[in-house]
Structure 1
Amino acid sequence: MIDNLKAFLDSKVAQYNQPGFITNDPICIPHLFTKKQDIEIMGFWAATLAWGQRVTIINKCRELIALMDGAPHDFVMNHGDIDLKKLLSFKHRTFNDIDTLYFIHFFRHHYSNHNSLEDAFVPSKDHTVILSDSEESGRRTSIVPISESVENSLNQFRSYFLSLPDFPYRTKKHVSSPSQKSTCKRLNMFLRWMVRKDDCGVDFGIWNKIKPADLIMPCDLHVDRVARKLNLISRKQTDWQT
């Protein structure tokens, strides 16, 4: 066991939380843009596609950007049916053209009513959500109250994301939530990018409605393994409660 754990962790923060880290990490994708909505769209997409080798993730995101003519927000808001045909070739592991088209559909719906994707995580009023993910035929709905916790924000976001008419059932697997006992690694990573005020130039800190202190550490297999070696985790399961 490391004697001074805080000093060790602080040294790792200094090692990785610096601009030189950006180039070979998926966070380099939203860093290609300066427009807030472009940063949000490609940050969300890069986080969603962040499984597998980093080089592949980055290349697939660059491919997606090219398919959207280098301007994600403009493409989302102004595309026509012919433009969407270009996206039918896009695929990354289990993420396919059906998922891609629904993401575009969701973004267009959201940005037609809101200026920032942040509002999807911190809604301004009660909204209708999906209660049952297990029923492929038919959906039951209820009203979810506003909550300021990240846990409830993630639950609300998934419900909102899947609330549009005729959403593809298969796309559910790409957006997790604490209500499913998931660690929500990708969404927590995306929130960190958008929320954390970083004077080192890595995270963006362009959102203000979620407090940086409320962020949850993204936990995947690698983080879990290291945390257990450092005796930071003792629970057997690796899920939201962990």
Structure 2
Amino acid sequence: MSERSLSAFLNKKADAYEQPDFIADDPISIPHLFSAPQDIEIAGFFAAILAWGNRKSIINSCKRLLQLMDKAPYDFVMNFEEADLKPMMHFVHRTFNATDLFHFLDVLQHHYKTQKQPSLQTAFSRHLQPADATVEPALAGFRRSFFDAKIFPHYPVRTQKHIATPERKSACKRLNMYLRWMVRSNKRGVDFGLWKDISPSQLICPLDLHVARVARHFNLLQRPGNDWQAALELSEHLRQLDPRDPVKYDFALFGLGVIEKF
């Protein structure tokens, strides 16, 4: 398939899958339960972090967690005290458990309340320069801050595995998915377009087994492993198809791989 034909094909598939009908069965349905920006970004963050395994199971776990937050994630993050965490002691989703959850809540409360930040965007964007070609520095800086021993001297070492970083060669699939949700335009009614300090052109395509398989079929990815370099390689090919919004093709590749079983 020529590059022109491939571009037309993937544009058609991206248009077909970037529709509100896509939302119901996807973890992005969780932040769509809210309208306030802080609620959206907190609910979205947990939905992305818990997004491994069966999609139905992911959504159920997220709803259970939101119930424990009284369905008001921002208010909970801003005001929780130790006694409020007791009902969460038995929360678990795969290997993510209450120990991890409590550190996540501490980090979020520190960001919003102690640092008085109005949005979670700055936890990423403060590590990024406009001239940076991709969000790689933002992802690496976010993780370093998340486990900053000067601020969180007793953070649980086990929790490190739940925040990926390109510095450890991870494809950072879940964080890249989260950034897609927050950064890309909401004009199609799927992503949110809340964050303006990160450009859609800087985003990296979330790389999972399904996306990688389809990408290799179309020669958009040659690297054999699904690591950070593979995510960069795929995103660079997608950027050639659409320099301003390369990650829109996540809808095409994911839809072809998961829904059409391509």
* TM-score, normalisation: structure 1: 0.88
Structure 2 distance, partners of 1:28, 1:2, is 35
Which SS does the other structure have where 1:241 is aligned? helix
Corresponding residue of 1:78: 79
- Cα deviations across residues 148-190 of structure 1 (Å, max 9, x unaligned)? 4310010000001111221110000000011111111000000
Give the letter aligned to residue 95 of structure 1: F
Corresponding residue of 1:210: 198
Which SS does the other structure have where 2:9 is aligned? helix
Give the letter aligned to residue 157 of structure 1: F
Corresponding residue of 1:227: 215
Corresponding residue of 1:49: 50
* Cα 1:229/1:2, change in 2 over 3 Å: farther
Structure 2 distance, partners of 1:45, 1:116, is 15
Corresponding residue of 1:107: 108
Corresponding residue of 1:58: 59
Q: Of Structure 1 and Structure 2, which has the larger fraction of its residues in helix? A: 2
Structure 1 distance, partners of 2:103, 2:92, is 13
Match status 1:156 vs 2:141: yes
Give the letter aligned to residue 101 of structure 2: T
Q: Number of matched residues? A: 221
- Tell me by how many angstroms 1:2 deviates: 7.2
Corresponding residue of 2:24: 23
Higher relative contact order (CA 8 A, sep 6+): 2
Unmatched 5+ residue regions in structure 2?
Answer: 231-262
Give the letter aligned to residue 19 of structure 1: P
Structure 2 distance, partners of 1:174, 1:25, is 20
Structure 2 distance, partners of 1:168, 1:29, is 27
Match status 1:68 vs 2:53: no
> What is the alpha-carbon root mean square deviation over aligned residues?
1.3
Corresponding residue of 2:257: none
Give the letter aligned to residue 91 of structure 1: V
Which SS does the other structure have where 2:45 is aligned? helix
- Tell me by how many angstroms 1:234 deviates: 1.1
Which SS does the other structure have where 1:74 is aligned? helix
Q: Is the 8 A contact 1:48 1:186 kept in 2?
A: yes
Q: Is the 8 A contact 1:2 1:230 kept in 2?
A: no
Counting only pairs closer than 5 Å after superposition, residues 84-123 of structure 1 correspond to structure 2 as 84-112=85-113, 113=115, 114-123=117-126
- Cα deviations across residues 136-158 of structure 1 (Å, max 9, x unaligned)? xxxxxxxxx76443100100000
Q: Is the 8 A contact 1:30 1:38 kept in 2?
A: yes
- Tell me by how many angstroms 1:10 deviates: 1.0
* TM-score, normalisation: structure 2: 0.82
Counting only pairs closer than 5 Å after superposition, residues 141-180 of structure 1 correspond to structure 2 as 147-148=129-130, 149=132, 150-163=135-148, 164-180=152-168
- Tell me by how many angstroms 1:241 deviates: 1.2
Which SS does the other structure have where 2:155 is aligned? coil
Structure 1 distance, partners of 2:207, 2:224, is 14
Structure 2 distance, partners of 1:119, 1:71, is 21
- Cα deviations across residues 196-217 of structure 1 (Å, max 9, x unaligned)? 0131110000001111111111
* Cα 1:40/1:146, change in 2 over 3 Å: closer
Structure 1 distance, partners of 2:205, 2:215, is 11
Unmatched 5+ residue regions in structure 1?
Answer: 124-144
Structure 2 distance, partners of 1:172, 1:120, is 17
